[in-house]
Structure 1
């Protein structure tokens, strides 16, 4: 049974606010939610009694006032599984309710169909993850995912359209969430990472593909049938398409042409980084950084986020090319340095994003 079943809607709002803002004082929590002190006491008392929320050590407010006792979510109360599929592997994590990874696992194989993926996840949930008694499963992949967990345009994996969430739920017997991978990662960063505390937030990812996810007015933007954020066809100021400049396969080709020699097949960001100090390669990476800057600038022009995170497997390549990155951004907007983050992203972090989707579903059960 979900710990939050049976709670009224206001109690669920309180628990979610503590998850996202905790540890937080009751006074601050009341201001956030527009609740009086007596109402908040009435609502939090049963949550603490049930160990859904925990009280921290008292914090002195001033020399004469009564110490404040902060509230936080009991993170170890429940665990979820998050999984991310790529072309030749499955990455899975178990996290607590605050998105902290407590275990990770990799399955190195290809998944020719949704059914093969479901069979492997069923084995993982019932075997490897069983000691944590997971209360939910989140899965993300590069695809359009609608509100019912149906997937389409699964281009990287070559799968047909399918009712993926229903297949997973039937096999694992867990509450399941299926999401686009960039959307899932953005939720994790909004709740637990670089975007925590922001009402408006954006993520741009760089790697085998390029994508964007938006949080506007504190809500993740999914778009019609989950299609929001497919930005590969965005046109740059010189007429080129974004995907023809920044994705890993194209960058590898341009680096090979600059060096006049071949890179390893399916070159990774680590392979590219080995040549990053070569002036010929720096020209290529400046071009990538400037293009990503234009994307970020356009996103900020249209949506005005408080912060933007550039992430993904290849994001680290931009660290030494921030002059070009900011040149691209400044074509559209002015951002302060603290508004922009650059974070290299491993596949366990993608899987953690999937887990965040499962956490959100667990904390906001349907009535």
Structure 2
């Protein structure tokens, strides 16, 4: 814990730690070149990080040099432990991770209610399931809603919250560094630092679940203005003749892509209320109604992916969220729709499918607290 929070405050030291975390193992020469430092300055900056155990010399072939061989630098992943928690309207799903955001444990606690103290209790119980507090370096919380400075939850519709100082309350209860972030922004950070976007300067993230989410990285920076927590992409128009969403918008992404929307469309035709996974399974085996609903959703998802890529000019879109199994079952419709809506001379669009479970969201929360501690924006 102390080695992370006492990381030298200078920008070069933090930039060094970030580069090794994201790009390691990396040679000292390459690292010096990326940071614009002399090898002597790099050696001086890296020494306290090596002494603390946060960095280490990688095993394997050493870099050729005069005198003692020098091995590339890498993060020592098990030198610190974090917990990330994804809050929904029903549960606090938590994961323990190492410094590289690898999941090493998981826990889930039901929320006894939406009162702030009830939710705090569920979070603390989920964290306690994963080990003692004195073994942690920080806690990250991701939540569907709008988050302001200092981890203030300005709006969380699934919990009925407004203006809840969640980070402050948790910090008081635990004594640990706490980061609170919108869930899609947190997931985007995780993909940027540790996932499909690692080493990519520009990419987008699309999520499908109870809602539709959108994250964007441009020039290696997560684009996260205050309105990022409003889920604005959920009302992007996709089908002018489609069903209406709860806000009355016809054929928007919330009305045609989400888990509730697909279940509702299937039930409207068949009269059957089936779980989402069963509808996808039926579609995969040729059920006419399920197949039509899922194919139409796949075409709409392709339109949304294309719109994101066309408007931002990224060529990598990460597909995630607990409802994104749609992209697998409707893969042909998805890709045909992308091809139709893209200029044939545009760069090929890369799609990266990520696991469809709540652990990914919780891992995103852990990634945010790791990022902010490394960058020195959280104390």
* TM-score (normalised: structure 1): 0.90
Matched, 1:243 2:257: no
1:81·1:92 contact (CA, 8 Å) conserved in 2?
A: yes
Counterpart of 1:273 (choices 261, 270, 280) is 280
Relative to 1, partners in 2 of residues 1:327 and 1:335: Cα closer, same or farther, differing over 3 Å?
Answer: farther
Alignment of 1:34-183 (within 5 A): 34-59=36-61, 69-125=71-127, 128-130=130-132, 133-183=135-185
1:154·1:160 contact (CA, 8 Å) conserved in 2?
A: yes
| Whole-angstrom CA distance in 2 between matches of 1:132 and 1:173 | 9
Alignment of 1:283-322 (within 5 A): 283-322=292-331
| Whole-angstrom CA distance in 2 between matches of 1:148 and 1:284 | 43
CA deviation string 1:20-66 (max 9, x = no partner): 1111111221222122222222222332122221001242678x999
Matched pairs, number = 362
Range with greater deviation from structure 2 (188-197 or 126-135)? 126-135
| Whole-angstrom CA distance in 1 between matches of 2:279 and 2:239 | 25
CA deviation string 1:74-116 (max 9, x = no partner): 1111111110112221111111100011111111344312221
- For 2:247, the equivalent position in structure 1 comes to none
CA deviation string 1:150-187 (max 9, x = no partner): 21331222233312222222222211111111111111
Counterpart of 1:363 (choices 349, 374, 377) is 374
Matched, 1:209 2:211: yes
1:296·1:329 contact (CA, 8 Å) conserved in 2?
A: yes
Matched, 1:347 2:358: yes
CA deviation string 1:228-273 (max 9, x = no partner): 6531111126362111111111101112234x24124xx23x2222
1:213·1:229 contact (CA, 8 Å) conserved in 2?
A: no
| Whole-angstrom CA distance in 1 between matches of 2:161 and 2:231 | 20
| Whole-angstrom CA distance in 1 between matches of 2:262 and 2:91 | 23
Relative to 1, partners in 2 of residues 1:204 and 1:93: Cα closer, same or farther, differing over 3 Å?
Answer: same
| Whole-angstrom CA distance in 2 between matches of 1:350 and 1:274 | 24
1:150·1:163 contact (CA, 8 Å) conserved in 2?
A: yes
Relative to 1, partners in 2 of residues 1:170 and 1:320: Cα closer, same or farther, differing over 3 Å?
Answer: same
Please tell me the root mean square deviation across aligned C-alpha atoms, in Å: 2.5
- For 1:3, the equivalent position in structure 2 comes to 4
Matched, 1:336 2:333: no
CA deviation string 1:291-328 (max 9, x = no partner): 11221111112222242111111111221322321233
* TM-score (normalised: structure 2): 0.88
Q: What residue ranges of structure 2 are gaps of 5+ in the alignment?
A: 242-250
2:142·2:182 contact (CA, 8 Å) conserved in 1?
A: yes
Offset at 1:12? 1.2
Relative to 1, partners in 2 of residues 1:284 and 1:110: Cα closer, same or farther, differing over 3 Å?
Answer: farther
- For 1:262, the equivalent position in structure 2 comes to 272
| Whole-angstrom CA distance in 1 between matches of 2:97 and 2:176 | 15
